[in-house]
């Protein structure tokens, strides 16, 4: 399988009006997405945030759970938080997830169907990930989703995870776990 990293993007993301904003870090996102990243063998979990104070908060969370009192209390969680890399931009995450001269391919996710030059369903994306190719950096948004520019500039847009009907407002934590299961898990249904 190709190297796979995930990124939780706090800028540029959209607000309810579709404006480009910067969202606030949510502690639960850090823990839950790190646990999913570790469970599904991701190379790294990038927290993308341009604001130094928010980067410092992310570093404090990681430090506490990898070297602080909670690392001693819950050693398993230490392995999950150790996947976290705090970066200021998507470009920084992409550069860090390259391997040698192979730049990472950026894949993006969204809760709604968006137009894109290369949209993939989950089965095709899973096959592409399990074939040969450059590393994959899978982006998840916050707030009301990744900005239109980020989606448009990505190599691949994954189709939305669909539920039982039109209501579709998964948390990014849930979407991250479902996406990684579909892309990586050894499918017991086969
Ligand atoms: N309305 C936003 C959108 O269209 O993406 C939902 C934002 S949600 C709070 C944060 C992120 O979780 C999204 O940017 C996307 O990365 C992921 N996400 C949420 N629901 C999803 C779904 N049904 N399919 C794929 N990704 C989803």
Rounded to the nearest angstrom, the distance between the alpha carbon of 49 and the centre of ligand 1 is: 18
Does the beta carbon of 111 lie inside 6 Å of ligand 1?
yes
Tens digits of residue pLDDT in 103-155 = 999 999 999 999 899 999 999 999 999 999 999 999 999 999 999 999 999 99
Compute, in angstroms, the gap from residue 70 CA to the centroid of ligand 1. 30
- Tokens found for residue 34: 């790190």
Cβ count within 10 A of residue 167: 6
pLDDT band at 186 (very low <50, low <70, confident <90, very high): confident
**What's the DSSP call for residue 103?**
P
**pLDDT (0 to 100) of residue 190:** 45
pLDDT tens for 10-29 read 999 999 999 999 999 999 99
Q: How many other C-beta atoms lie within 10 A of the C-beta of residue 174?
A: 13
Average pLDDT, the chain: 95
Q: Looking at ligand 1, which atom is closest to the CA of residue 168?
A: 23
Among the atoms of ligand 1, which is closest to the Cα of residue 142? 10
Q: State the pLDDT at residue 188.
A: 54
What's the pTM value of the predicted model, to 2 decimals?
0.95
Identify whether the C-beta of residue 110 lies closer than 8 Å to the C-beta of residue 157. yes
Q: Is 70 exceeded by the pLDDT of residue 187?
A: no
Ligand 1 pocket check: which of 45, 137, 175 to mutate, most ligand atoms within 8 Å of Cβ? Answer: 175
Tokens linked to 65? 């759970």
């Amino acid at each position: 399988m190709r190297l796979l990293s995930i990124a939780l993007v706090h800028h540029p993301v959209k607000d309810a009006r579709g404006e480009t904003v910067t969202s606030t870090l949510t502690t639960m996102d850090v823990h839950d997405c790190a646990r999913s990243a570790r469970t599904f063998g991701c190379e790294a979990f990038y927290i993308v945030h341009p604001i130094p104070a928010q980067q410092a908060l992310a570093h404090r969370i990681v430090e506490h759970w990898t070297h602080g009192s909670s690392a001693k209390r819950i050693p398993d969680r230490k392995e999950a938080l150790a996947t976290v890399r705090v970066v200021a931009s998507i470009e920084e995450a992409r550069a860090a997830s390259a391997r040698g001269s192979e730049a990472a391919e950026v894949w993006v996710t969204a809760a709604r169907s968006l137009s894109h030059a290369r949209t993939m369903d989950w089965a095709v994306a899973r096959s592409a990930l399990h074939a040969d190719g450059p590393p994959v950096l899978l982006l998840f948004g916050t707030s009301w989703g990744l900005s239109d520019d980020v989606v448009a500039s990505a190599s691949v847009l994954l189709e939305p995870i669909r539920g039982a009907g039109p209501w579709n407002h998964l948390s990014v934590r849930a979407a991250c776990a479902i996406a990684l299961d579909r892309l990586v898990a050894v499918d017991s249904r086969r």
